[in-house]
Structure 1
Amino acid sequence: MAKRRVKTFKGQKETLPIKDKRLLNSFMNNLLLKRDLATTDVKIYQADRNYMIALLGFNTAFRANDLLQLRVIDVKKGYVHIKELKTGKMQHYRMDKRLHKDVLDYIERNHLADHDYLFKGQKKKQSGISYVLPLTREMGYKIMKKNADEVGVVSTFGMHSLRKTFGYFYIKNGGNVITLMKMYNHDEPATTLRYVCWENDDAEKERSRVYIAATK
């Protein structure tokens, strides 16, 4: 089988999903380890924030810009209700109860108010008034890429990889490609399958696990 051609954008390779569940666990556990080892309030918050970015990214399939623009009020009640920056389309759905609990615990740990950004970045001051900006996409990329490198992810990894990994495991676990297409706001199922890098070898691996026979 011919290898998949890797696209490039402005000299950068296209980001790819993590397909190995063990590697995915290592990715998340490494972020948790950094949080456990952090020694100052600032570093503890940053490590906690970075873990939560990955957790929500892997579980919501939001684009990086939408993910980083989330405010507490957008997720606090167990529903996600946002307008996509790229498409202008609305996203509104109930969160998984376990994910909602993780989000509430994160909000409580970090004393976040309703209109705070979920993932705080730089502090700014203008006309004597201080305010906090959300983490930038560029910084989010650096954080996720560094963590991926540390656990041995060899494919090109970035913020978009979180979104793609969600889709890959959704299909792998039996999810409907039409439903995933709608989640991504794609126009064609083929676009969605290409996007999550679902290839012939993935299909063959899944077929090799199937055994159907008469039962007594």
Structure 2
Amino acid sequence: MPRRIKTFGGQKATVPLKNERDMNNIINYFLIQREKAKTEVKRWQADRNWILCLIGFNTAFRAEDLLQLRVMDIEKGYMSIKENKTGKVQNFRLNKLLHEDIMDYVKRNELTSYSYLFPSQKNMNFTITRQQADRILKKAADAIKLKQPFSLHSMRKTFGYHYIKNGGKLLTLMKMYNHDETSTTEIYICWGTDDAEQDRQSIYNGAVHRKGRK
């Protein structure tokens, strides 16, 4: 019997964006909003929301850790944070292109080393709340007609799903997530029978003998 997605309070549990096009549509939505902005405030908001998605899709941070990021945490191209939930420390070097995008955003919006990466419009000394961030992402999901719930937590799961889909190691992903078991990670990213069957269809061993075949 296939594993069922649990529901809580009538809502579906968070799942990753398995279609890469959906992920890119979310990111591009904010880029388009930035380009079309008629005021500086609207442009800045779209820029902030874009970088939020870009970092969320590329680092797999929990919501509370993602929103607490300051410029000083990433400006040298190296990340070192202590997770709020587990107390465990994550140390890793940022992807070069991601770091460049972040620093361009920092420069463009004149942020300082002590600035939050996703500051609130009402008070730049505070970061946006999780509720605000989820509302921002839901609005984007509705705009692109996404057929599944989408939130901050979705980005963390999406990172893991596409990491494995693109050939990443399950054990490595488990360590990225600070999980204790690989089985927990498999369930977490919703890797199931349909994904295994898609991978099976993409494999053909023995392609060499077909090179001279007409």
Q: TM-score range by the shorter chain?
A: over 0.9
Aligned residue for 1:35, secondary structure, equals helix
Aligned match of 1:112:
111
Instruction: Say if 2:137 is the partner of 1:138.
Output: no
- How far residue 11 of structure 1 moved from its aligned partner, in angstroms, is 4.7
AA paired with 1:108? K
- How far residue 39 of structure 1 moved from its aligned partner, in angstroms, is 1.4
| Residues 55, 214 of structure 1: alpha-carbon distance in 2 compared, 3 angstrom cutoff | closer
AA paired with 1:187? D
Per-residue CA distance 1:99-118 (angstroms, 9 max, x = gap): 00001100000000000101
AA paired with 1:34? Q
AA paired with 2:60? A
**Length, aligned pairs only:** 209
8 Å contact kept, 1:123–1:132? no
AA paired with 1:94? R
Q: Which moves more between the two structures, 174-183 or 23-32?
A: 23-32
Equivalent position to 2:184, from 188, 191, 206: 191
- How far residue 193 of structure 1 moved from its aligned partner, in angstroms, is 0.8
- How far residue 7 of structure 1 moved from its aligned partner, in angstroms, is 2.1
| Residues 34, 118 of structure 1: alpha-carbon distance in 2 compared, 3 angstrom cutoff | same
Alignment root-mean-square deviation, CA: 1.5
Task: Give matches, 1:1-216, under 5 Å.
Answer: 2=2, 4-124=3-123, 132-213=125-206, 215=208
In structure 2, the gaps of 5 or more residues are 210-214
8 Å contact kept, 1:122–1:132? no
- CA distance in 2 between counterparts of 1:80 and 1:180 reads 17
AA paired with 2:20? K
8 Å contact kept, 1:64–1:160? yes
- CA distance in 1 between counterparts of 2:150 and 2:191 reads 16
Q: Which moves more between the two structures, 93-102 or 9-18?
A: 9-18
8 Å contact kept, 1:70–1:117? yes
Aligned match of 2:212:
none
In structure 1, the gaps of 5 or more residues are 125-130
TM-score, structure 1 as length reference: 0.92
TM-score, structure 2 as length reference: 0.93
AA paired with 1:49? R
AA paired with 1:169? H
Give the fraction of aligned pairs with identical amino acids, expressed as a percent: 54
AA paired with 2:91? H
Aligned residue for 1:123, secondary structure, equals coil
- How far residue 123 of structure 1 moved from its aligned partner, in angstroms, is 3.5
Aligned residue for 2:90, secondary structure, equals strand
AA paired with 2:136? I
- CA distance in 2 between counterparts of 1:155 and 1:5 reads 16
Aligned residue for 1:121, secondary structure, equals coil
